[in-house]
Amino acid sequence: MATIQFNNVSRMFQRDGKDFLILDRIQLLVQDQEFVAIVGPSGCGKTTCMRMAAGLEFPSNGSVKVNDVVVTEPGPDRAVVFQQFALFPWKTVHDNIDFGLRSKGIDKEERERLITHYIDLMSLKGYESAYPHQLSGGMQQRVAIARAYALNPQVLLMDEPFGALDAQTRVVMQEELVKLARKNPRTVLFITHAVEEAVYLADRVVVMTSRPGKIKEILDVKSVREAEQWDRHSKIEDVMDLQSFVHLRTRIWKSLREEHVGTDH
């Protein structure tokens, strides 16, 4: 079981001697093996939520728990995938994936089995000896995701992982992530600006207000998908024109647009 729980979480920052409220009383439970996406205006605290779950930042009030344990530091039960690929430039694809496994003290035979498995799963076969600068952005992110999954974390935290990719590569990576989530389910908290991406990938989509970030609404995509016999594992172009997909996308866009209009001067 792996859950993420935000209990009445607020986050303050100080700048020029003044306090700024970034997040305001966030209450959210991500269930075991649930894929939850957070969308919201820039500066609403989406990434701060992810960083607190990772143990990289901490609430000013309230608590963040993973598996009912208060998060006080990073841990092996959580893996983070950032927008920038965060690979070791001096290590090959094989060795980038191997690094975390070595740190966990896994024996060589098991490390090689895991590396081979995730290289195959992420369509990286033939690139084991390549260095990051020799790979496209999409392939570098495949390596980052393979490295995260190979560590067998209970929780996967993804901060706009496809934001730096071109549109075509982004779609391919979204489809790859769906396949990976089907074969290796994890509890996922996914931060994105892209509404279509959130609707395509997530079981629930959390829509946040402009700063200070609050939860405005939560949409249950999974129930719509199942009720409409919407196959989660189709290609994105097969689902994005379905009425149920369009309805969810439009509802989220309108909700976000209200926030932008509310902050216009």
245, burial (CB in 10 Å: exposed 0-12, middle 13-18, buried 19+) = buried
**Exposure letters 53-89 (e unless 16+ CB within 10 A, then b):** bbbebebeebebebeeeebeeeeebbbbbbbebebee
Confidence band of 253 (pLDDT split at 50, 70, 90): very high
pLDDT at 262: 54
The domain of 61 spans: 1-77+178-265
The total number of structural domains in the chain stands at 1
Q: Is residue 118 situated within a structural domain?
A: no
The mean pLDDT of 28-54, rounded to a whole number, is 95
Instruction: Give residue 232's pLDDT.
Output: 60
**Which three-class secondary structure state does DSSP give residue 256?**
helix
Closest CA to 265 of 210, 207, 212, 195: 210
pLDDT-based confidence at residue 19 (cuts at 50, 70, 90)? confident
Cα 136 versus chain centre, distance? 21
Beta-carbon count within 10 A of 109 CB: 8
pLDDT tens digits, 189-240: 999 999 999 999 999 999 999 989 999 999 999 998 888 777 665 678 888 8
pLDDT digits (tens, 9 = 90+) for 68-117: 999 999 998 999 998 776 889 999 999 999 998 988 889 999 999 999 99
Query: Percent of the chain scored above 90 by pLDDT?
Result: 60
- The whole-angstrom separation of Cα 214 and Cα 234 is 32
Tell me whether residue 155 is in a domain. Answer: no
Residue 194, domain member (yes or no): yes
Tell me the two tokens of residue 180: 């990976």
Q: What are the tens digits of pLDDT across the range 146-186?
A: 898 888 899 999 999 888 788 888 888 888 888 888 788 89
The pLDDT, as a whole number, for residue 15 is 81
Is 98 a member of any domain? no
Q: Is residue 58 part of a domain?
A: yes
115 lies in a domain?
no
Residue 6 has pLDDT above 50, yes or no: yes
Whether the predicted pLDDT of 263 surpasses 60: no
57 residue type, one letter: E
The predicted structure's pLDDT at residue 234: 67
| Domain assignment of residue 225, yes or no | yes
Integer-rounded Cα radius of gyration of the chain: 19
What pLDDT is recorded for position 264?
Answer: 45
Task: Give the CATH number, domain containing residue 47.
Answer: 3.40.50.300
Q: How much is the pTM?
A: 0.90
Is residue 251 in some structural domain? yes
